[in-house]
Structure 1
Amino acid sequence: MGKITAVNDELEQRFTFALLAAEQNFEGAKLAGWGLEDTSVVPGEGYVYKVTVALPEDANIKIKEGSTYAGTNLYEELPQPIGLAGIFKDSHVVLSWNYNLLSSIYTSYIVEKSADGLNFEKQNQQPIFNASQHANDNNIALYYTDSIPNDKTFYYRVKGKNAFGDVGPPSEVVNGQGKKRLEYVPHIYKKEIPTDNKVVLFWEFKEEGNGIITKFKLNKGKTNNGPFNTVIDSIPVNAREIAFKGLDRINYFTITAVGKNGVNAESLPAIVQPVDSIPPSEPTLLKGVIDTTGIVRLSWAKNPEKDLRGYRIFRANNPNIEFSEITHKTLFEETYIDTVSLKNLNQKIYYKIKAEDQRYNRSKFSDILIIDKPDLVPPSPPIVKNYEITEQGVKIQWTPSSSKDVSSHIIYRKTDNTNAWEKVYESTNSLDTVFVDTKLSPNLYSYTLTAKDLTGFESKPSSPISINWTTSKKLVDIKFSGTVNRELRFISLSWKTPKLPIVEYRLYKGYSDEGLHLYKTLNGSVTKFNDVDLEVNSSYTYGLQLITKEGYISKVEKINLKY
């Protein structure tokens, strides 16, 4: 198997070299059966030529035929080679020119040289061509190196040769001289930085080289690879140090020795970094917006410092606590997108930023940016504190919602024979905690309350209460009286009421100059009570209130007694 592979590889190589030879020599192409010269054409006529492979009759493969159109009227002058350039160095020159742009016309090139610019001689005995494939790259170049004596001018040009052996016109001529390179090269070995804006550079250069140079030049660049610009020219040949003011954050310096023959020698770059402890100014014009998904978009003005590296962003839920950094690495732009949770009780989010320079010095904090978060959390529900059935209707008292952004409290009502809640009252006064429902007819009513915030979110409803309303009643006439018995040391209280389904009496007590407070709760069948919790020479006020089976609560009937 290996022998078969080797034979196949050898055949492929033979075929490849045959193609190469045919491309470089038209006579070889004709001998190989890959070329044809037609001498019977008529000027002005066009011809179609078709080529097929003469396969054996028993061959089981098919090879597509090829065709082309040609005529004398299609003749064009061959183009001039493009982009010839020459780099003249010590005792040699390197020539280069574009290959790809004319690769469909020329298969090889001829290099010619002249000592006087008039009489040119061919230099290459073998064709110069490109054997590599470079698709879609028009900048592929061919190179040729020639040895020449120094200090003498030589002229070069190239010509293209196509597959038919035709040679095109010469390219533009380039000329130059080889120059002996400087034997000595400067070397920067020390630098001193007395201030943050000044450097003193020291370099080595052999004294024997002073006679072959005219001066030194100091060059400065922003990177190790340049470009370098001359910042101090005409430095004396015997100088070995130079001071320079006007440093940037990072500086690269080279020393160039300028030769008398026009050839220069440049040192390797030396980096100079002055000490920088001055931070940037604090960022300004910090702005931000937040959407309903919790995405925050921040922007601010760009800092003016030339050595600015970037920014660091800090965030907090409370301006009085320590802010946390959310970037964790330097941000190089003046915009930032953050994401915050809206499902918490914090109504605001706080941001501030710092600027950072290339030495990692950080500025002071910017002014704090306050962003109001969109309210997606409903307020806490209010609580029904008490209710009372009066002759006007049902009186409801409540404890307001504890949320700070409440805009109103809403009372809903429904009857026993429906499931739909009906809004009967909405209060926008935060101090309003009482409502009397007067639009009633005999039925069982349920009441509940909600709180609504500034964005329109309603709280969960409070626990409902149910009240059986029969009919509105006039004031119940309570005959309430009392007598003082100092001998037995008690006060006897008694009362009479109309015949009503009374379930409870509430007895209130207080000193004459103070308010009443609930003293006793008595069964609805009780009609008198003896009070023995007394102090001598004291005046007392008693109050009595009844509650019926339907939930009606009477007003408090009062009497004053002195013991």
Structure 2
Amino acid sequence: MIVQRLVLALLTPLVVYAQEADTSQRLAESYRRLFFPELKLLAQSYGDSVVLRWAPSNAPAWRAYNRIGYHVERALLDTTSPTPLRYERLTQEPLKPWTLEEWKRRSRPEQQFAAIAAQCLYGRVSIPQPNTAESFLDAATELENRFGFALFAADCDAHAATGLGLRFIDRAVRIGQTWIYRVFPARQDSVFVLDTAVLVVDVEPYRPWPPVLSLEAEEADREITLRWKNFHAGGYTAFNVYRTGPDGHRRKLNSTPIVPATPRGWTQRIEPWFRDTTAEWNVRYTYEVRGISPFAEEGEPATIVAMLRDRTPPPPPVVGKPYIYNMTMVRLEWSINAPPDLSGFIVMKSDKPDRDWRALTDNVLPAAQRSFLDTLADPDLAYYAVIALDTAGNRSDYLPIYVDIHDTIPPAPPTNVRGTIDTNGVVRLVWNLGTERDLLGYRVLWANDTTHEFTQRTNLVWMDTVFTDTVALNTLTEFVYYRVVAVDTRYFHSDPSPIVAIKRPDVVPPVAPLFTDVYVTEDRVQLRWQPSTSNDVARQVLYRRVEGDTAWRQIAELAPEQEMYVDTAVVQRMRYSYTLEAIDRSGLRSERALPVQARPFDPGVREPATNLRATYDTAAQAIVVEWALPRPPAEQFWFVVYRAVDDGELTQYRAVPPGERRFVDRELVGRGRYRYAVRVMTALGSSPLSPVAVVVVR
């Protein structure tokens, strides 16, 4: 009754969730996971033995099958033997958890995981009165916790795993063998259906689990934090951390295994970590992290060396009023409450108060220095800052100051100016953005001739590197010319950019080509034509269409002067249409040439039969004629057998169906010299006669 109530409690939130999400599929999947749980099985080979570990996938099934128990069977896998697999049972009685008395008798007081396992098994699940939904949910949560702690104890302690009935050792194995193990309930529960777990194990020498990945150490003033990844197959259950000092003494830092726990509802996995707060100053430690596998064994160690570090920065320097000399030099002075570990200063400048800082010296300024002269003052880099450094490399905060330096230098001319014109006369002009920090924008100039005066196309400063213009196309002027001028925030203008010439588009398509001749054979079509007479043709495109199709398909792209093309990708008796168009350098296409048609003919000759031979069957008193036809015709065909006796002429004798490659001649005229040949026949043609086969009947 208590299990049924717990099942109801577990299903209640699932039903509510399904109703809210309006999806029956999730409810069905939750039902399957609850009432049809999986039995998970792992194995570890030790050379002289194999250890099996298993567990059901949910808490109610675990509780139910603790009363039923499990059986273990094995079968030797021999790929060289045809004998079917024969399973032998390794458990005389079902493996069940120990009774409370057995736990007390077999366990020592210091075995903490044995106590945890026994408590998970025999601690009472209490449901307070009245029996409300909340009380059932509390009981279900308690059962989930017991299940989780029991499996954790089994992973961390082989003794606990054995006592929980979730571990078995097979000692009757040899290296090189391959065994199939299966674990299954002694019988099925009335509520939860648990299937058999099967695993193939190669018996091999013991190999410890590999070390954890990406071990890192964060060194701080008072603590060292270790972080690592848990990416191995199946993952480690928990971890131990060891520390070795200069004296060589190695000690374990954690009193209980470290377990990376991800809070419910989190989508991002929490990676394991450990914080050592007992490290001493100026001492280098070697840290060792070992994972605990589900077989209660430590894997290979991952090691790292770390020590406490000074992470406290010095106070920020206080910069006084700057001094400006000739608008080309800036002098900074500062003061600081210097700490004992002060190592020096760095002077920086930028065009922004909060980022993109650049140091003004290659080396750190001495700790005693309190001023600096910048001899390359730049109006574009008007923000200055001074930071202090200590002997541990810590940097102070900084308080930026602004120095107003007047600018008298115009910007550089724009570079990489380029443009295009479309068939509507729309010009798109682009150029590279200038590097000046006080750049305001640009002015665009144009002309129809390089000897003319360029006039402005932008009334205001253009604040972009892309400009759109429109020009007339119905003109004899082939090109339009542009220049661009840069403008800074003080309205200093750069020199104009180099002139860029943009060709106006060609709006007249080329003249269409004209077919002059079509020559057809059995396997090709030869086309000849008069190319387009336009002088700006860039290429020709040939199209083909099969009879019955409506769409043209491009089959070749040809040079502008080409006058002939041979199409060999043709099929006999198929009618083809061809057309051609010319494309000029502007991409304009001519009208397509008047189509011509061609139909490769079928000469009617088919592949002959080969390997003809004739033999006399004395028992049947008949002649057997056999032949081969490596490449049968595509259309319907049949064979005609020719026969001649002695010196007579070969004449048609019998017809043979297409599926036959053999003919038995039972109508012999007596002794003599018989000659045979075979011809392949179709409704559209025939093959030559095959070579003659001769047989003498005595």
Normalised to the residue count of structure 2, the TM-score between the two structures is: 0.42
Match of 2:239 among 91, 94, 109: 109
Q: Distance in 2 between matches of 1:47 and 1:280?
A: 81
Aligned CA distance change for structure 1 residues 50 and 357 (closer, same or farther; 3 Å): farther
Q: Amino acid of the residue matched to residue 280 of structure 2? A: P
**1:11 has 2:105 as partner:** no
User: In structure 1, how many angstroms separate the alpha carbons of the residues matched to 2:280 and 2:215?
Assistant: 21
Residue in 1 aligned with 2:203?
72
Cross-structure match for 2:669: none
Residue among 182, 193, 204 paired with 1:50: 182
Which residue pairs with 1:324 in the alignment? 458
Q: Is the 8 A contact 1:314 1:325 kept in 2?
A: no
Distance 1:117 1:221, change over 3 A: farther
Higher helix share: 2
Cα–Cα, structure 1 residues 275 and 228, in superposed 2: closer, same or farther, change >3 Å? closer
- Code of the residue aligned with 1:73 in structure 2: it is E
Aligned position for 1:129 = 259
Deviation at 1:206, TM superposition (A): 1.8
Secondary structure of the corresponding residue to residue 11 of structure 1: helix
- Render the CA deviation track for 1:360-380: whole Å, top value 9, x for unaligned: 976354356554544769xxx
CA spacing shift, 1:22–1:322, aligned 2, 3 Å: same
1:560 is aligned to none
* Residue number among 211, 218, 228 corresponding to 2:346 in the alignment: 218
- 1:288 partner SS: strand
Q: Which one-letter code corresponds to 2:346 in the other structure? A: L
Q: Deviations over 1:293-326 (max 9, x none)?
A: 54545455776x5658696464779877642279
1:93-492 to structure 2, matched below 5 A, reads 93-102=223-232, 104-116=234-246, 118-132=248-262, 142-179=273-310, 181=312, 184-190=314-320, 192=322, 194=324, 198-206=329-337, 209=339, 212-213=340-341, 215-218=343-346, 220=348, 224=354, 231=361, 233=363, 235-246=365-376, 249-250=380-381, 253-259=385-391, 262=392, 264-268=394-398, 270=400, 275=405, 277=407, 278-284=409-415, 286-294=417-425, 296-298=427-429, 300=431, 305=435, 307=437, 312=442, 314=444, 322-324=456-458, 329-331=463-465, 336=466, 338=468, 340=470, 351-355=482-486, 363-366=494-497, 369=500, 371=502, 373-374=504-505
Which amino acid letter does the alignment assign opposite residue 15 of structure 1?
Answer: E
User: In 2 relative to 1, CA 342–235 (structure 1 residues): closer, same or farther, beyond 3 Å?
Assistant: closer
Q: Which amino acid aligns with 1:48?
A: I
- How far residue 48 of structure 1 moved from its aligned partner, in angstroms, is 2.5
Confirm or deny: 8 A CA contact 2:260 2:271 kept in the other structure: no
Paired residues of 1:49 and 1:69 also in contact (CA < 8 A): yes
Question: Are the aligned partners of 1:150 and 1:180 in contact in 2 as well (CA < 8 Å)?
Answer: no
Letter in 1 for 2:411: P
- Structure 2 residue ranges without an equivalent (≥5): 1-11, 14-131, 509-585, 587-698
Deviation at 1:166, TM superposition (A): 0.8
Q: Is the 8 A contact 2:209 2:293 kept in 1?
A: no
- 2:538 counterpart residue number: none
Q: Does the 8 Å CA contact 2:224/2:279 hold for their aligned counterparts? A: no
Query: C-alpha distance in 2, partners of 1:236/1:198?
Result: 21
CA RMSD of superposed structures (Å): 4.9
Aligned length: 366
For residues 498 and 491 of structure 2, the distance between their equivalents in structure 1, rounded to whole angstroms, comes to 21
% identical aligned pairs: 19
**Cα distance in 2, alignment partners of residues 52 and 279 from structure 1:** 86
Change (3 A) 1:285 1:42: closer
Q: Are the aligned partners of 2:240 and 2:289 in contact in 1 as well (CA < 8 Å)?
A: yes
Whether the 8 Å contact between 2:445 and 2:454 is mirrored in structure 1 is: no
- 1:93 CA displacement: 2.8
Shift of 1:121: 0.7
Cross-structure match for 2:604: none
The Cα of 1:280 is off from its aligned counterpart by 1.6
In structure 2, what is the Cα distance between the partners aligned to 1:287 and 1:174?
58
Q: Is the 8 A contact 2:289 2:302 kept in 1?
A: yes
Please give the alpha-carbon distance, in whole angstroms, between the structure 2 residues aligned to 1:324 and 1:228.
37
Q: CA deviation at 1:178?
A: 5.0
Give the partner amino acid of 1:95: T
Q: Which runs of 5+ in 1 are unaligned?
A: 378-454, 456-563
Instruction: Tell me: CA distance 1:232–1:291, structure 2 relative to 1, closer, same or farther (3 Å).
Output: closer
Offset of residue 129 of structure 1: 3.4
For residues 471-494 of structure 1, the C-alpha deviation after alignment (integer angstroms, 9 at most, x for no partner) is xxxxxxxxxxxxxxxxxxxxxxxx
Paired residues of 1:84 and 1:97 also in contact (CA < 8 A): yes
Distance 1:329 1:269 in 2: 32
Deviations 1:186-245 (A, max 9, x none): 3344452615554433434226x3xx2364121547684678768264645444333334
Separation in structure 2 between the aligned mates of residue 266 and residue 76 of structure 1, nearest angstrom:
51
CA distance 1:264–1:376, shift in 2 (3 Å): closer
Larger radius of gyration: 1
Alpha-carbon distance change, 342 to 100 in structure 1, aligned in 2, over 3 angstroms = farther
1:22 alignment counterpart: 151
3-state SS of paired residue (2:239): strand
Provide closer, same or farther for how the CA distance between residues 363 and 36 of structure 1 changes in structure 2, counting only shifts above 3 A: farther
SS at match of 2:259: coil
Structure 1 residue 282 displacement after superposition: 1.6
Distance 2:215 2:424 in 1: 63
Task: Identify the residue that residue 637 of structure 2 maps to in structure 1.
Answer: none
Deviation at 1:10, TM superposition (A): 5.6
Distance 1:193 1:121, change over 3 A: same
Cα distance in 1 for residues equivalent to 2:500 and 2:311: 67
**Matched residue of 2:223: which SS?**
strand
| CA distance, structure 2, for counterparts of residue 276 and residue 373 of structure 1 | 44
Distance 2:357 2:292 in 1: 39
Q: SS of the counterpart of 1:147? A: coil
Scaled by the length of structure 1, what TM-score is found?
0.51
Instruction: Give, as a single letter, the amino acid of the residue that structure 1 aligns with 2:315.
Output: V
1:127-173 Cα offsets, whole Å, 9 max, x none, are: 22332399999995634242333344444322222222111233234
CA distance in 2, matches of 1:22, 1:4: 27
Say if 1:307 and 1:358, in contact at 8 Å, map to a contact too: no
The DSSP-based 3-state class of the residue aligned with 1:200 is strand
Q: What is the SS of the residue equivalent to 2:300? A: strand
